[in-house]
Chains A and B, each alone.
Chain A
Amino acid sequence: MKRVVITGAGTINALGQSVPATMEAMREGRCGIGPLEMRDSDRLAIKIGGQVKGFDPESVFNRQQIALYDRYTQFTLIAAEEAIRQSGLTFDGDLAARSGVVLGTSGGGLTTQDENYRAVYEEGKNRVHPFVVPKLMNNAACSHVSMQYNIKGPSFTVASACASSNHAMGQAFWFVRSGMAPVMVTGGSESMLCFGGIKAWEGLRVMSRDACRPFSATRNGMVQGEGAGIFVFEEYEHAKARGAEILAEVAGFAMSSDAADIVMPSKQGAARAMAGALSDAGIAREEVGYINAHGTGTAANDKTECAAVADVFGTHADDLMMSSTKSMHGHCIGGTGAVELLAVLMALRDGVIAPTIGYEEPDPECALDVVPNEAREARVDVALSNAFAFGGLNAVLALKRT
């Protein structure tokens, strides 16, 4: 089996439009959640979100590109550019033929769907733009990355709601580890902060109207975000041979399905995925110093996740740190695991643990060190990244310091 390392990272999200900007915001415990700016926002019951603001697509893309790129694809391409540039890779010949792109998204081109449903149903138009289908499809972002960088190997999109990007990165990890691909571009993107996307979440009545406060006794629900995180996963010897800078090693991955409930999480399912990732990586649980939590800020997720961590780690659960950066950038749904992997890289590389902000009051059912409100310096050798989706689909990555 090959070793898999990360040699490039890129992002755009409510905290920043690059990795350095995002990590700086995480270090400072800044909140990217604010009032939603969109058409008809007066009709929304939930008026806050982790929206990407101050982003002008026309400064990055030309008119023909914008006609083809939904907002989620735009996010993907911006993050991919940063990640691939950092990796220093150029894809041609055998490298191009064997490398691939596996991305996660839950809703794909939702903004495109929203705008065009509005045109035909509300405005009564009988005609839509010819690119609606290629713009809204869930694999559009993946295909545009593949086209832009000449990446011609195994490429597809994974959709498993809030675990999409972790599932995608798990597949990418396997492709490289098995020797099937020398390099995989992976991660995920979501832009569900459109009128219809927010209305749908309002319906479930799990959204907070004021803030995302994971693990706090005062938490009252999740807050949606948007954005993308893209990474270059590369075979270790390949990276070493070309003298690439290595950000971290991806050491293990595991998935599980609760097979229980379409929305309620299961402690057993989450625990099996965390334990599976450790066992896949050959890592003892005592080595884990940090967990980037799924930590949605709902009553159900946070207590279930803490109970699962206690089950997997036993007494070591009291010695590790676990934080939820959703408190800062919101829940980026299918892109969330990828945006959150940046907090894992920051912990492993820089020894800085991103905080759980908005923390007000301890909850006896979430009695772990959740790094409340302020970032902390600590040396971490091994970290996990949790994603537990609606539908009970869980995906956990284990990363190591290099």
Chain B
Amino acid sequence: MEVKNKVVEILAEQAVLEPSDVKMEMSLEDLGIDSLGLVESIFAIEEAFDISVPFNANDPQESDFDISSVARIVEGVEKLVAEQHP
């Protein structure tokens, strides 16, 4: 829950929305976050959770990190936090 709230907060700030307007099924496109905004969000996530997110802007689909929806991003961050801070 803690991870989810923080990720939503980061994405909301990037999208210039209220956290309450960010829904779990939304895509980055729905949120109006472009490629540069995504790279900035991932940086903010890495800083907030002290983790390293495997993501290459050249092939987002093939990166291990699923960015297809807010829910997938939250799951990905939870998994990385568990792996990197066991």
A: residues with CB less than 8 A from B are 45, 203-208, 219-221, 262-264, 298-300
Q: Does B59 contact A (CB under 8 A)?
A: yes
10 additional contacts (CB under 8 A) given A203-B39, A298-B57, A299-B58: A45-B52, A203-B43, A205-B57, A206-B56, A206-B57, A219-B58, A220-B59, A263-B36, A264-B35, A264-B36
Check if A220 sits within 8 Å of B36, measured CB to CB.
no
Provide the residues of chain A in CB contact with B42, threshold 8 Å: 205
On chain B, the residues within 8 Å of A263 by CB distance are: 35-36
Q: Considering the chains assembled together, what is the distance between the CA atoms of A298 and B59 in angstroms?
A: 9
Q: Which of B38-55 contact A (CB under 8 A)?
A: 39, 42-43, 52, 55
Q: Is the CB of A206 within 8 A of B43?
A: no
Give the top 5 A-B pairs by smallest Cβ distance, nearest first: A299-B58, A205-B57, A221-B58, A220-B58, A206-B57
Structural contact, A299 and B59, CB atoms closer than 8 A = yes
Measured CB to CB, the closest approach of chain B to A378, in angstroms, equals 31
Q: Determine the distance from Cα of A207 to Cα of B39 in the docked complex, in whole angstroms.
A: 13
Alpha-carbon gap, A221 to B55, bound state (A) = 12
**Interchain CA distance A389-B66 in the complex, whole Å:** 30
Q: Count CB-based A-B contacts (< 8 Å).
A: 34
Q: How far is the CB of B48 from chain A (nearest CB, A)?
A: 16
Residue from A45, A203, A205, A206 with most neighbouring chain B CB atoms (10 Å):
A205
Using known A-B contacts A262-B36, A264-B35, determine if residue A205 contacts B59 with beta carbons closer than 8 Å: no
- Measured CB to CB, the closest approach of chain A to B51, in angstroms, equals 13
Minimum CB–CB distance from B63 to chain A (whole Å) comes to 9
Tell me the complex Cα distance, A299–B35, Å: 12
Residue on B with the closest CB to A206? B57
Q: A263-B36, A264-B35 are in contact. Are A220 and B56 (CB under 8 A)?
A: yes
Interface of A is mostly: loop
Give the residues in chain A near B36, CB-CB below 8 Å: 262-264
- In the complex formed, the residue of B with least CB distance to A299 is B58
Chain A residue contacts of B55, Cβ below 8 A = 205
Chain B residues whose CB sits within 8 angstroms of the CB of A262 once the complex forms: 36
Q: Say which size band chain B's interface belongs to.
A: 10 to 19
Collect the chain A residues with CB atoms within 8 Å of residue B35's CB.
263-264
Separation of A92 and B26 alpha carbons in the complex (Å): 69
Instruction: Please provide the chain B residues from 11 to 53 with a CB less than 8 Å away from any CB of chain A in the complex.
Output: 35-36, 39, 42-43, 52
What residues of B have a CB within 8 angstroms of the CB of A264 in the complex? 35-36
Residues from chain A with Cβ under 8 Å of B43 in the complex: 203
How far apart are the CA atoms of A341 and B59 in the complex, in Å? 30
Given contacts A262-B36, A263-B36, A264-B35, contact A204 B57 (CB under 8 A): yes
Nearest A residue to B36 via CB reads: A263
CB distance from B53 to the nearest CB of A (A): 9
Please, which residues of chain A bring their CB within 8 A of the CB of B39? 203-205
Residue of B whose beta carbon sits closest to that of A219 = B58
In angstroms, Cα B38 to Cα A206, docked, is 13
In the bound complex, what is the Cα–Cα distance between A221 and B60 (angstroms)?
12
Specify which chain B residues have a CB less than 8 angstroms from the CB of A206 in the assembled complex.
56-58
B38 to chain A: closest residue by CB: A205
Q: Which residue from chain A places its CB closest to the CB of B40 in the assembled complex? A: A203
In the complex, what residue of chain A is closest to B53 when comparing beta carbons?
A205
B-side contacts of A221, CB under 8 Å:
56-58
Contacts of A300 in B (CB 8 A): 58
Q: Can you list 7 residue pairs at the A/B interface with Cβ under 8 Å?
A: A203-B39, A203-B43, A204-B57, A208-B56, A221-B57, A262-B36, A263-B36
Residue among B36, B55, B57 facing the most chain A CB atoms (10 A cut-off): B57
| B58 partner residues in chain A, CB cutoff 8 A | 206, 208, 219-221, 298-300
CA distance A204 to B58 in the complex (A): 11
* Bound complex: CA A205 to CA B53 (Å): 11
A368 CB to closest chain B CB (Å) equals 19
With A and B bound together, what is the CA distance between A263 and B36 in angstroms?
A: 8
A299→B62 CA distance, assembly (Å): 12
Report the minimum CB–CB distance from B76 to chain A (whole Å). Answer: 15
Within the complex, what minimum Cβ distance (angstroms) separates B80 from chain A? 15
Q: Which residues of B contact A205 (CB under 8 A)?
A: 39, 42, 55-57
Q: How far is the CA of A204 from the CA of B39 in the complex (A)?
A: 7
Neighbouring B residues of A204 by C-beta, 8 Å: 39, 57
CB of B68 to closest CB in A, whole Å: 17
In the complex formed, the residue of A with least CB distance to B59 is A220
- Report how far A298 CA is from B36 CA in the complex, Å: 14
A262–B36 CA distance with the chains assembled, in angstroms: 9
Residue of B with least CB distance to A204: B39
